[in-house]
Amino acid sequence: MKRPKHFLYILASLSGLAIMYVCVSVIPFRQIFPLINADSMFFQVLYQDLIIDGNTLRGWDLNTTFNLFPNSFLYLISFLISKNPFINTLIHGLLQYSLFFLVLFYFYRSFRPFIPTKWHVPGILMLNLFFFDAMMAGDYYYATLFVHPYHFGAFITFFLLGALNLRHIRTPQKNKVVWILIIAALGVFSNRIVVIMFTIPWIIVLCVAMIKKWLPASIAVRGIVINFAGALLGIALYVLIKNLGIVTFASTKLFSWDNILPSITALFQTYGKLFSQSIPMTLMLGFSALFFVVNFIWCIRDIFNYNHSSSPNHNENHAIQIWMLTSLIFTVVIFFAPAINGMFFGPASVRYNFFVLLLPFINISILGYSVWGNKPISNTIINWVAPSLIVLVLALAVYFSGSFPMQQHFSEKKEYYPFRAKELDKLSQEVELKNGISIYWDAKPTTLYSREGIRVRQVYDDLSLYPLAIARSWYYPQTDSQEAPVFNFIIYHKSMKDESIETIFGENITRIKRDDMEILLVPDFTYTSSRRIVLLSNLDE
């Protein structure tokens, strides 16, 4: 029977999905914390509010980025399939990784001559092994595959824009211009990091390509204008939505000067620890660093020593040079940007520049084919290496699925019932619990995992509203027809200011202890539009 076209790529992609599913299923529960903490639950509470509670987007305080494309569409599918927080996060990760493989295939096919599918496989499988090591070690950054606010959607947009622009360079057409404008605008509107990831590096590279005569000036200038216009359109759309006042975006602080030196120190300390934490991860990161060095040497050679070809197909001949230089600038800019902005604080900040570790694995397939693709011995080797790597990844998936009680571990995560949610559900059978408030880290997980529909909203330590990824309608009415939400309990945390609690509620507080959790039953209250507490008894007077 004739095997399907691009069989090796399909098999490599499926092996990646298999190893990811198995790893998430078998790793200890503590290692999936990045998937189920408050930072990762934006879309979950958003869709719960829109789909289950039947509210609208009006009055939402969103993250600094909305992650509309492609994450919101993928997460909507996963949420409709399952309301379970762990299951829909897993489905979202599988869908996102699948889309990534599709975009990578489209990207690899943007070079001419076509890079044969068997040459795609080493890069894809190195990527799979990298994530495998990260998951088994419990590293924070594997969560980028699953959690929508961690910018993997922007990384997908980076390759999609790269593919569209490479094809436009080869054969300029109006439909390609339209698609570049649409994807650039959607990407930048969804996540402005796309400007740093792609727009700026690409424009710089097109300027170099024009100077070095890698491209005709007309094509280079057209590419600059199209991508600049697309990014500008995305920013304009963001500003328009923001000014309409329907939703509010969290502000982003640029260049926190006092934090730049500490951020640079934290950057190198964090990555130093990543390189030294385990032998498998050290090897994978070593490969990534080696491939980056090869990329750097390649670019330097091309810029200073490359003899310009007089071939009529020079646009095609220089596609690899253009992409490798784009990758080099991407790596330098993305790696240092969070630190230079003064916003790199430690392992949690790796989500902003983690992609510099992934790009070399993807590029090695391009470089490998460019250097050795026409050599018979290389094709013989790759014919053996590609299937062997696939077998290795599949063997790892089979081994770990059989060596651990996979079904038991998966069920533990699926049936996860946080202590706070469980105790509140029990308490709701004894007393009437309306809405509650707690610190940021407890509110969303308790709300999502409650099986009795308990709603807990996040507040600052002084009990004032904490406006990050929340709907203001949870606290106070957004229209004349909406009733004011009523609160009557607090999940106490030691960071909360006791004087604020006593000033507001006086002695009318009932304290209930459940192990290390303390619940305060208080008189009914709500919030005003000034985001402060007001007792309902005071409103009635």
Q: How many CA atoms lie within 13 A of 428 on its CB side?
A: 17
Decide if 241 contacts 247 (C-beta within 8 A). Answer: yes
The tally of CA atoms less than 13 A away on the side-chain side of residue 471 is 22
Instruction: Evaluate the omega torsion of the peptide bond into residue 405 and state whether it is cis, within 30 degrees of 0.
Output: no
The pair of three-digit structure tokens given for residue 422, joined into one six-digit string: 């469980």
| Cα dist from 104 to 55, 120, 321, 477, whole Å | 37, 9, 18, 46
Main-chain phi, psi angles of 436, to 5 degrees: -130, 170
Q: How far apart are CA 336 and CA 200, in angstroms?
A: 14
Residue 428 has a pLDDT of 92
- Residue labelled with tokens 């170099």: 208
Please list, in sequence order, all residues whose beta carbon lies within 8 angstroms of the beta carbon of residue 236, skipping any fewer than 6 positions away.
none
Quickly tell me which residue has 């609160």 as its tokens. Answer: 487
Spatial separation of the C-alpha atoms in residues 224 and 230, rounded to whole Å: 10
Alpha-carbon span 346 to 268, nearest angstrom:
9
The predicted pLDDT at position 313 comes to 42
Quote the longest CA-to-CA distance of the chain: 89
Structure tokens at 81: 């399939």
| pTM for the structure as a whole | 0.88
Cβ atoms of 315 and 219 within 8 Å: the answer is: yes
pLDDT at res. 403: 65
Q: Report the alpha-carbon distance of residue 307 to residue 534 in Å, rounded.
A: 74
**Whole-angstrom distance, CA of residue 47 vs CA of residue 44:** 5
482 three-class SS: coil
CB atoms within 10 A of CB 239: 12
- With beta carbons less than 8 A apart as the criterion, state whether 459 and 453 touch: no
Spell out where 332-434 has E strands: none
CA-CA distances (angstroms) from residue 173 to 312, 373, 448? 18, 29, 48
User: Residue 529 gets which letter from DSSP?
Assistant: T
364 neighbors 123 (Cβ within 8 angstroms) = yes
d(CA 390, CA 24): 19
Q: CA–CA separation, 441 vs 111, rounded Å?
A: 46
Element (H, E) at 315: helix 314-317
DSSP of 89-102, one letter per residue?
HHHHHHHHHHHHHH
Nearest to 440 by CA among 12, 41, 81, 115: 41
Please state, in angstroms and rounded to a whole number, the distance separating the CA atoms of residues 76 and 89: 11
CA-CA-CA-CA dihedral for 309, 312, 318, 320, to nearest 10: -120
Q: What is the pLDDT along the chain (541 residues), one digit of tens a residue?
A: 455 567 778 878 888 888 778 777 777 776 777 777 888 888 888 888 888 888 888 888 888 777 888 888 888 898 888 888 888 888 888 888 889 999 999 999 898 777 787 788 888 888 888 887 777 766 666 667 777 667 889 999 999 999 999 999 988 888 899 999 999 999 999 998 999 999 999 999 999 999 988 889 999 999 999 999 999 999 999 999 888 888 888 777 666 777 888 888 988 888 888 777 666 667 777 878 888 888 788 777 766 664 444 333 444 458 888 998 999 999 999 999 888 888 888 777 888 888 888 898 888 888 888 777 677 766 677 777 777 777 877 787 777 776 666 677 778 788 888 899 999 999 999 999 999 999 999 999 999 999 999 999 999 999 999 988 899 999 988 887 888 899 999 999 999 988 888 888 988 889 999 888 999 999 999 998 888 888 887 665 5
The β-bridge partners of 437 are 457, 490
